[in-house]
Amino acid sequence: MRVPRVAYFPDSFHEVNGVAHTSRNFIAFAQRHRLPFLCVRAGERATAFEQIGELRTLELGRSKASVRMEKDLEFDALFWRHAGAIRRELKRFKPDVIHITGPSELGIFGVYFAWELNIPLVASWHTNVHEYAARRMAWLTRRLGERRGETVDQGVESGALWATSQFYKLARVLFAPNGELCRMLERSTDRPCYLMQRGVDTELFSPVRRTRGDGDEVVVLGYVGRLSVEKNVALLARVERELTAMGVSGVRFLIVGHGSEESALRAELSQAEFAGVLRGTALAEAYANMDLLVFPSHTDTFGNVVLEALASGVPAVVTPDGGPKFIVRDGETGFVVPDDGFSRAVAILVQDRARLEQMRVNARAYAMECSWDTVFERVYAGYETALQAEG
């Protein structure tokens, strides 16, 4: 079977999040292997088309009417003005499959043109929108009392999951970053689901980028990601308080990222450096200078930052919810514990440096087994399933 021509419509590309990170690596994979690939994405206000070999990109500007969803992510209700440009490029490219990543304006366009041009549609699940919706309603539901608030939270989450599943039902084949999500999607959409995990650049993210001196005895606890409610970042301040109460000293935080909870964390963390958003070598050096990643999110579908930390020789403490628990090998490359176990897990490694050092070695070894090529080769195998279903 010939290699399919893929038109890819990512929700996010230039921003700092898992979808954008995966999308940038996806087009790099296509370019490396000279695959016929069209990426239709949102960018700055201007519209631009570029072609390098078999790789084509159509970047479409968002309007001033765009609504801010995150600090660096918007939704443009006027994006339909680009319909003609997208239609022309799709007809010129003649894709065998259209791949969307979620219910954004790009995803809606992908669904529409798959229908209009009779092109098989596939969709990958990257964000637990239903869980995000429930957590962002917390400002309201916590005022309703514990029992009533929980009922409303569950209703919001269930409703958001149902609505999102209806959108994903429009695709013939689905992808998700872990087996648990795949099973959930297969139940809710009655569509086959395949793994679309994440890889890591083990040359960029590496222990060799550590610049701290050997005599630095401070244990640096790192966090990388959005500083937002759904990431459960309030737990970081609780960990610091509990470590102090346990008599554990010589610890400080390195916080990489931005978001709505930053001011609260600055006020509550007494020993912390806030580095803001870092990219490339600066981010890799930040990871390498950590001793332990503390990642309390319950909503991440995979956890790119966890894999990047492991590649940097940094073990991680994560929750038993979401995707990170599938990356961390409990007791070997970190710990998988509930919220009330984070402080104890950190204390164990602060007080047992030999065990921490062995986990650092184990973390790097695990990450060396991961590659982006393996991830996207599985995706192309899923495309074959979608095309066979068409026949």
**Mean pLDDT on 216-244:** 95
Name the pLDDT band for 25 (thresholds 50, 70, 90). very high
Question: Is residue 150 scored above 80 in pLDDT?
Answer: no
Residue 223 sits in the same domain as residue 182: no
Please write the tens of the pLDDT for every residue from 312-351: 999 999 999 988 999 999 999 999 999 999 999 999 999 9
**Same domain assignment for residues 100 and 234:** no
Q: Does one domain contain both 170 and 281?
A: no
Q: Which residue has the higher pLDDT, 158 or 291?
A: 291
Tell me the average pLDDT across 162-187.
90
Give me the mean pLDDT over the 53-71 stretch: 83
Average pLDDT in the chain = 89
211 closest CA partner among 146, 301, 320, 287: 287
Contact assessment for residue 278 and residue 286, using Cβ atoms and an 8 Å cutoff? yes
Angle at 375 between CA 370 and CA 377, to 5 degrees: 130
What is the CATH classification number for the domain harbouring 162? 3.40.50.2000
Whether residue 359 sits in one domain with residue 218: yes
Do 145 and 256 sit in the same domain of this protein?
A: no
Pair (328, 219) in one structural domain: yes
Judge if 188 and 217 occupy the same domain: no
- The whole-number pLDDT of residue 134 equals 44
In a domain, 136, yes or no: yes
3-state secondary structure at position 165: helix
- Tell me, yes or no, whether 127 lies in a domain: yes
- Establish if 237 belongs to a structural domain: yes
Using pLDDT thresholds of 50, 70 and 90, give the confidence band for residue 156: low
Report the C-alpha gap between 101 and 127 in whole angstroms: 9
Residue 173 to residues 3, 279, 389, Cα–Cα distance (Å): 17, 33, 9
The identity of residue 278, as a single letter, is L
356 shares a domain with 221: yes
Q: pLDDT at residue 283 above 80?
A: yes
Which burial class, exposed, middle or buried, applies to 50 when counting CB atoms under 10 A from its CB (0-12, 13-18, 19+)? exposed
Report the pLDDT value the prediction gives residue 139, as an integer from 0 to 100: 47
Residue 127 confidence (pLDDT) above 80:
no
Residue 1 lies in a domain: no
Decide if pLDDT at 116 tops 90: yes
Q: Looking at per-residue confidence, does 141 or 188 come out higher?
A: 188
Is the pLDDT reported for residue 255 higher than 60? yes
Taking only Cα atoms into account, the Rg of the chain, rounded to an integer number of angstroms, comes to 22
* Residue 262 placed within a domain: yes
- pTM, 2 dp: 0.73
304 and 170 share one domain: no
Q: Are residues 188 and 211 in the same domain?
A: no
pLDDT tens digit string along 177-209? 888 889 999 999 999 999 888 899 999 999 999
282 forms beta bridges with: none
Instruction: Answer yes or no: do 241 and 345 share one domain.
Output: yes
Q: Is residue 17 part of a domain?
A: yes
Structural domain span for residue 385: 6-199+371-390
Give the pLDDT confidence of 93-113 residue by residue, as tens digits: 999 999 999 888 999 999 999
* Domains of the chain: total: 2
220 compared with 180, residue with greater pLDDT: 220
- Name which of 233, 219, 225 is nearest 261 in CA terms: 233
Any domain includes 52: yes
From the list 42, 77, 75, the residue with the least C-alpha distance to 60 is 42
Q: Is residue 229 part of a domain?
A: yes
Average pLDDT over residues 62-74: 71
In the prediction, which pLDDT does 74 show? 74
Mean pLDDT, rounded, for 352-366: 96
Residues contacting 353, CB < 8 A, separation 6+: none
**Residues 112, 146: one domain?**
yes
